[in-house]
Chains A and B, each alone.
Chain A
């Protein structure tokens, strides 16, 4: 490997900023910083494997946003949530109920120089939809890909018994890998090789260096070097941004956002995300195995107050889907704050004024999502007011993640769990199936034939209009009425960046579009 001067500079910048790593930087006050380098203070970091099919971790999906191309691109704006733009595919169409056809872009190359063809799409989709892959949850099911010619592919779901239309939106979320890498999963793990605007250079401690890809099909990005610095503490990210150590940061606390808005030299960005924040009930053990108790809790929570605390970081929504998702609607009969109703339901369930309820544990994380501790205390207090004996447990994100999902025996710890669910496509099933279909029900463990039937019905809908109708008038109201979880609000992502940075676009699920960005 030949080291160019440019790479060398990128390397020194990485070491200098790292601070945390490497003795050489120990006494260096001034640190080398190549111009045209953007340093991103990230709230999360990547896993040990670069194989996109190996994980469902949000920060790595953000990193993959720089590295990989997808068939299509969904900007997911609240004004036009269903909009689909070309990426590696230039056009697409439905051939029949079980077949979608994509025409691919010509002249695209991977970072390692190999040309992109239909072969790569086939290899990627068939590999990643295999149920043994950890991220196969993103695929609506297994899929067969037919290579029509070098620049045409057909996705076929016939053999697997569900409509191909399910890929309509999902295809904007699935990174395309190189067929040669798929054939050799070890290389897939060790380094990412995509068609995206930036290519991977190296990892040093908690810093990942990327470099603009000369051969990017949309034109080489103006930002030459991109450094991903993992900074787990929100205060550190903000102080670092204020003293010029970082150029861009994410997941701000509302107060930080407000004070940074007033700061000279810094601009802020606020946009609705595809994330909703949920309180999941553990539905397969008492007392929340009783829908009346779940609804009583739902009616005990004044979500206006929760939103007042979340402030800039939240937006009211009465739906288990985010407003940027296909199918979102203001669900009719979405349970509202109503203490009388809560009391009536509790009494009906045999717990008048909460008497006889076991101690209820509410598990939440601190440090990743904004204000979880604060509104956790508020919600605990509101539930206690109605007689729920709630105990709040706040955990560091790693420990919380360990408690989050149901275990092999089907049970999860605690009774109420706070979590966000975020996916990079308008496709609603990426939220609904993993959470509410009894086949998965990853967190709440709900097992309700009516919900299952309704979810299958909307998935198997023959066309988009019909599907939208089923979702909005049947599936979502049913989920609200059965309340396996409470959708508290929709997350608004708060970010800040240096005034020197221009042209950044943020996607609602976290990834940052730097293709047109500049830094002066």
Chain B
């Protein structure tokens, strides 16, 4: 218990520092990048004085560290501010050409994210389920049969899947499964069926890592002494695999799951949501980038890195506990 508390305090404080730095990097990047949000808020015909006035009112002309400090204080109280572009009801609205906008009339960033989050979670979990459905049988077979055709098959399939650009797979599946045959709906979201094709695309993207990780860690365990010892002792092979190999292999698998998978999952979600106009956080963010909607972008970036950091901590914690349990 003491270990756990110490572990979490240490790692969480490190993590907080990292997230703060990420926030600062993104915050600065957005403010030095070309493209003026004021012009989008006010519309193309706004006068220079009106633009300057609004910029000052929104605090966009203060030094960046000042803006950042103000922002962090806000975030600490759970407020990510208001969208520059979206109205209270969440819809994008065109640029007002009529004086300074009343930001309290705009949507709260947190609300926008919370509205989009369930869709992203559905897609992510469905994608992960599909990915495991693909990867577990192939990975297990490859790991248990090192040097045989199953291992080669694993290599071929993962090399092939990792070579398929998600944008292309997405479009091909829309063409085959939706436009041509009408089997499944594809664009937007009106029910869980709309998540199936995007989830398949995600699964194809993620499964190669899983296949490899499963195959490698299973193979490593099979080679280890205890496996043979167990078999010599008369424990059935299937039982050995089920009881020990799979469990031991779970540790390196968890590690893969942390860093690479979550990064990939997040990246994949963005692109896939964009292809399928799937109303999750990715689409929200890509639209925000095109609309220079700073508050949304920085909130998503900060939350994404926080998730990444947090999952890393949890995985590290989980793997140490599993490890200890495994010590005979």
A–B contact (CB under 8 angstroms) = yes
Residues of A within 8 A of B (CB): 16-17, 19-23, 25-29, 31, 44-49, 51, 53-57, 59-60, 133-135, 137, 189, 202-208, 230, 233, 235-236, 239-240, 243, 245, 396, 398-399, 401-402, 404-405, 407-408, 442
Q: B229 within 8 Å of A by Cβ?
A: no
Offer 5 A-B interface pairs, CB within 8 angstroms, sorted by A. A20-B188, A49-B96, A205-B91, A399-B35, A442-B45
* A31→B48 CA distance, assembly (Å): 47
Top 10 closest pairs, chain A to chain B, by CB: A408-B48, A54-B98, A134-B97, A20-B279, A206-B91, A205-B90, A29-B191, A47-B94, A405-B44, A203-B89
Known contacts A55-B43, A203-B91; can you find 6 more A-B pairs with CB under 8 A?
A19-B189, A47-B94, A48-B96, A206-B91, A239-B186, A402-B40
| B145 partner residues in chain A, CB cutoff 8 A | none
Contact of A402 with B89 at beta-carbon distance under 8 Å, contacts A60-B94, A245-B190, A396-B290 already known: no
Instruction: Please determine whether A243 and B185 come into contact, CB atoms closer than 8 angstroms.
Output: yes
A-side contacts of B292, CB under 8 Å: 398
B40: chain A residues within 8 A (beta carbon) = 398, 401-402
**Which stretch from B1-9, B114-122, B236-244 is at the chain A interface?**
B114-122
- Per-position contact with A for B99-140: 1 when CB-CB < 8 Å, else 0? 001000110000000010011001000000000000000000
B74 on interface, CB distance cutoff 8 Å: no
Cα–Cα, bound, A45→B91 (Å): 9
Contact A134 B43 (CB under 8 A): yes
Q: Which of A60, A203, A236 contacts B87 (CB 8 A)?
A: A203
CB neighbours (8 Å) of B164 from chain A are none
Contact B191 A27 (CB under 8 A): yes
Chain B at the A interface: SS class? loop
Q: Do B96 and A47 touch (CB < 8 A)?
A: yes
Q: Does B301 contact A (CB under 8 A)?
A: no
Contact check: which of B43, B89, B122, B194 meets A205 at CB < 8 Å? B89
Q: Are B118 and A236 in contact (CB under 8 A)?
A: no
Given the interface contacts A26-B118, A398-B40, does A206 sit within 8 Å of B90 by beta carbon? Answer: yes
Knowing A20-B188, A29-B191, A205-B90, say if A54 contacts B277 (CB, 8 Å).
no
Distance to closest chain A CB from B51 (angstroms): 8
Q: Nearest residue in A to B274 (C-beta to C-beta)?
A: A233
| List of B residues within 8 angstroms of A46 by Cβ | 93-94
Contact A54–B91 (Cβ < 8 Å): no
A463 to chain B, nearest CB (A): 33
Which residue on A lies nearest to B277, using beta carbons?
Answer: A236
Contact across chains for B89 and A204 when beta carbons are under 8 A apart: yes
Q: How far is the CA of A97 from the CA of B142 in the complex (A)?
A: 91
| Known contacts A27-B191, A54-B97; is-contact A207 B45 (Cβ 8 Å) | no
Closest Cβ neighbor of B39 among chain A residues: A402
Check if B47 is an interface residue, CB within 8 A of chain A: yes
B105 cross-chain contacts in A, Cβ below 8 A: 48
In the bound complex, CA of A28 to CA of B186 (Å): 16
Task: Return chain B residues, CB-CB under 8 Å to A31.
Answer: 190
Assess A48 versus B45: contact at CB under 8 Å? Given A240-B187, A399-B35. Answer: no
Residues of B within 8 A of A (CB): 35-36, 39-40, 43-45, 47-48, 51, 87, 89-98, 101, 105-106, 115, 118-119, 122, 178-179, 185-194, 277, 279, 290-292
Measured CB to CB, the nearest residue on chain B to A21 is B90
A28 close to B94 (CB less than 8 A): no
**Are B36 and A402 in contact, with the CB atoms below 8 A?**
yes
B185 contact set on A, CB distance < 8 A: 243
With contacts A19-B189, A205-B89, A245-B190 taken as known, whether A57 is within 8 angstroms of B94 at the C-beta atoms is yes
Q: Report the minimum CB–CB distance from A52 to chain B (whole Å).
A: 11
| Residues A19 and B90 in contact in the complex (CB < 8 Å), given A49-B96, A233-B277, A404-B44 | no
Least Cβ–Cβ distance between A45 and chain B, in angstroms:
6
Q: Contact: A399 with B290, CB < 8 Å?
A: yes
- The answer to whether B47 touches A27 (Cβ under 8 A) is no
Residues in B whose Cβ lies below 8 Å from that of A48: 87, 93-94, 96, 101, 105-106
Q: Give the residue name and chain of the B residue nearest to A230 (CB).
A: B91
Question: CB distance A55 to B93 under 8 Å?
Answer: no
List, in ascending order, chain A residues with CB within 8 A of B115's CB. 21-23, 205
| Chain A residues whose C-beta falls within 8 Å of the C-beta of B94 in the assembled complex | 44-48, 55, 57, 59-60
- B119 cross-chain contacts in A, Cβ below 8 A: 26
B93, A47: Cβ atoms under 8 Å? yes
Contacting residues, chain A, for B188 (C-beta < 8 A):
19-20, 236, 240, 245
For the complex, give the distance between the alpha carbons of A53 and B105 in Å. 19
- A29 to B194 Cα, complex, angstroms: 10
When distances are taken between beta carbons in the complex, the residues of chain A under 8 Å from B101 are 48
Closest residue to A23 on the B side, CB-wise?
B118
Residue from the list A28, A230, A402, A408 in contact with B191, Cβ < 8 A: A28
Closest to A22 in B: B115
A408, B101: Cα distance in complex, Å: 20
- Chain A's closest residue to B194 (CB) is A19
| In the complex, chain B residues whose CB is within 8 Å of the CB of A51 | 98
B191 touching A49 by the CB < 8 A rule? no
Q: Are B92 and A45 in contact (CB under 8 A)?
A: yes
Are B190 and A55 interface neighbours, CB within 8 A? no
Cβ distance A258 to chain B, nearest Cβ, rounded Å: 15
* Chain A contacts for B48, CB-based, 8 A: 407-408
Residue in chain A with minimal CB distance to B178: A239
- Cβ of A208: which chain B residues have Cβ within 8 Å of it? 91
Return chain A residues, CB-CB under 8 Å to B194. Answer: 19
In the assembly, what is the distance between CA of A204 and CA of B279, in Å? 14
A49 to B41 CA separation, bound complex (whole angstroms): 12
Task: Decide yes or no: A236 and B91 within 8 Å by CB, A21-B115, A55-B97, A402-B36 being known contacts.
Answer: no
Scoring B51, B93, B189 by chain A CB atoms within 10 A of each residue's CB, the highest score goes to B93
A16 and B191 CA atoms in complex are apart in Å by 10
A373 CB → nearest B CB, Å: 16
Q: Is the CB of B36 within 8 A of A20?
A: no
Give the docked Cα–Cα distance between A401 and B193 (Å). 36
Residues of A close to B186: CB separation below 8 A? 239
